[in-house]
Amino acid sequence: MSIKSPKICPQCGGPLREDAAGGLCPRCVMALNLKPETVVTGEPAAASAPRTPEELAPHFPQLEILECLGRGGMGVVYQARQPQLDRVVALKILAPERVTEARFADRFLREARALAKLNHPNIVAVHEFGQTGGYFYLVMEFVDGVNLRELLRGGRLPPAEALAIVPAICDALQYAHDRGIVHRDIKPENILIDKGGKVKIADFGIAKMIQAEADGDELPAGPEMGAAPTHDPTGVVGTPNYMAPEQAEKPGAVDHRADIYSLGVVFYEMLTGELPGKLLEGPSKKVQIDVRLDEVVLRALERKPELRFQQAGDVKTMVETIVGGVPPSGVPAIPAPGKFSWFLSPLTSPEVREIAAHLTRAERSDLVFLGLLWGLLVAVATFGNLWLLMSFPPPGNWIVASVIAALFFASLPTMNRTQRRLLASAAWAREHGYNVGNIKLFSFSRRNLRRGLIFLGAALLLIFGQLKLFTHLSGSSELSANLKEHSARLAAQAGRNHGMTGAPFVGVFSNGTVELMLVAADPASNTVCWLADGSPSSEPYPYTGGRVWAADKEVRAVAFRVHGPSSSPVLKFNKEIGTPSSVSGGFTDPKPLDAIFTEQFTCPSNLPTMDVQIGLANGPWETHMGVDPRGGSAENGDPDGNMWDIAVQTTGSGDEVAVACQYSIKQDWETRFVAVDTNGKVTTLRPKSQSSIGANLTSVMASMSRDEFEKVTGFQLQRRKRQWVEFRNVSLEPGHRTKVEILDATPGK
């Protein structure tokens, strides 16, 4: 025969009854509630040992003091018995070292008065309070049970248990708030559950009396209640992990909504088993619970009091509404939307997300089909109309686009009803009372609005990209020519050196392309022109005027189309043609993204082909050197071994100041002469005249107003590196067919 071992308390080792709540003896349960986690500002006195029951007995003849249960932040609690009433009570005495401190004595008396007003089944009752023998004391209800912290020791609670506890807490808080009392320290240690399962809030000892001067018991409560100053209006009171932000930031202005925040923390911890983090997420993101609880918890945890629930009763109402929509066995484990959530609109309401999470495979297929149909309508109404407007002439394009837009907007109510019918027909939705009339498709909560803004931003970027593509394909060039150019560019990116036997002849530089369009003989005489490989061209040469000439030389001209941001190009030819000083030309089209550049040059009459490089600069400007606004000179070298010089002279005594400058120019660099004012604004000086002094120096004459000059802090020489695209074996004679080679630009070289 086996002998049954007696049960013992795991905390203290004492005997344990069979029906002990939470597996602890009543003494240890009360001790857990008395852990001194509450923060109270002020200089604490040195702690002394609690008085023994024998030392206290002469001062409390009406009680039998049985034992000391524990010590809290403000007092010591004993288990006692009232013989006349034959009941066990809890005796709370202000910590002996606090008795001489007026701040804590006043707080203790305020606690007693506050608790004396509270008579509610979910609040630990106060039977008596007073002062005797130098001790301030409270005689309170003894709760034989366990606190919420002990229940949470094993992790989160089942959702059904959490949803049963929260309404009772809300009832107690609403009752206290209606009487102008704020708890200010709601936490699991202060929430007790007795053996019968009744929830009770303990330790209103740090409660803040909102209107202590009022004569009546009933005091108004609500967001408009004033925060009357307490004895310590700047003191921070509460437990850090559960305090509302305003308790730490503005402790003198705390009202009842601080308790709602703390309730939100406790609710979150019950559902997830952990405290909210800095990056707050709904509980359904961590555990499988009803997604509708996210809105309740997150609203209670709003940092700004005005955005929270304004009454504890509102929290209870929402929780009971959620509980009322589920089977009696408790809140079901609803999977958080995952695989299917990508298909839902960012403004989708919580009930639609919940129904979607419970769809069967067939029901989900129907919803996907409806979503694809809806997406097709949106695409036709947006991108289709955009294509019509850009591809066809008015007014026909506008008429067709308007008809499509009208049909789209007319279909919106039908699509809305169809989607609600489909959701309401789902098996899970029917079981839980959803119908076409009570399903709200969209919710404009703060979280959904954030999702919507992100989605809208992505959609605008997509539309902008499509618009840029359409603009590129339907710009000044023919569509087929643009497609060929794009294909040539892709081919160019596949290898740095590629041969071309047919137009267009396109090279690539950073952020753009350059096409060698035409070669011509003496364009001033309007003669025939040809392509780079010698084949005939049907386009006329874009002649810009002017002419070059040299004895025993042939006159030729070349035209380029530059697509992309760049400055004025420069050309380099093979040695038989000569240096850039023997060429002349310029832009024929001022458009920055698609401009035609022409050059005339001379070459030997028997030269069949040439190699030509075009240099383009489109990167950021860098300041290489500068001088004082009164004038001066400077010189500097660079890592490539080039020497740079700048000399500036300013003259003028009237309203205009003349600025003369000489500065270095290099073939591989584009340069400019700028002025910098006191605000850091950079202004390029437009020359009245400009001339070259040799191959590497230029002289500029410019002017500026006296007011502009007075703001100048210095003149600078700025530069940026040119990139070179090379075209080899370019035919100099019509009909002389060649295979043109193109070397794309290498960035940074």
Cβ(687)–Cβ(681) below 8 Å: no
Helix (H) or strand (E) holding 315: helix 312-324
Cβ(580)–Cβ(570) below 8 Å: yes
Alpha helix ranges (H) inside 87-193: 102-116, 148-151, 159-178
Give catalytic status of residue 185 as yes or no: yes
Structure token pair of residue 656: 């205009």
Helix, coil or strand: residue 553: strand
Which is nearest to 738 in space by CA: 497, 576, 502, 489?
502
Angle between helices 312-324 and 292-300 (to 10 degrees): 170
Sign of the four-CA dihedral 339, 340, 345, 346? negative
For residues 437 and 200, give the distance between their C-alpha atoms in angstroms, rounded to a whole number: 40
Find the catalytic residue in 144, 178, 185, 744: 185
Structure token pair of residue 571: 């050309």
Characterize 79-96 residue by residue with b for buried, 16 or more Cβ atoms within 10 angstroms of its Cβ, and e for exposed.
Answer: bbbbeeeeeebbbbbbbb
Cβ(284)–Cβ(335) below 8 Å: no
Cβ(238)–Cβ(204) below 8 Å: no
Cβ(529)–Cβ(518) below 8 Å: yes
Angle at 673 between CA 671 and CA 677, to 5 degrees: 135
CB-based contacts of 486, cutoff 8 Å, min separation 6: none
Cross-strand bridge partners of residue 132: 135
Whose structure tokens read 């009202």?
A: 255
Cβ(430)–Cβ(407) below 8 Å: no
For residues 746 and 684, give the distance between their C-alpha atoms in angstroms, rounded to a whole number: 28
For residues 101 and 110, give the distance between their C-alpha atoms in angstroms, rounded to a whole number: 14
Strand intervals (E) in 158-238: 181-182, 191-194, 199-201, 208-209, 237-238
For residues 186 and 714, give the distance between their C-alpha atoms in angstroms, rounded to a whole number: 66
- Active centre residues (catalytic): 185
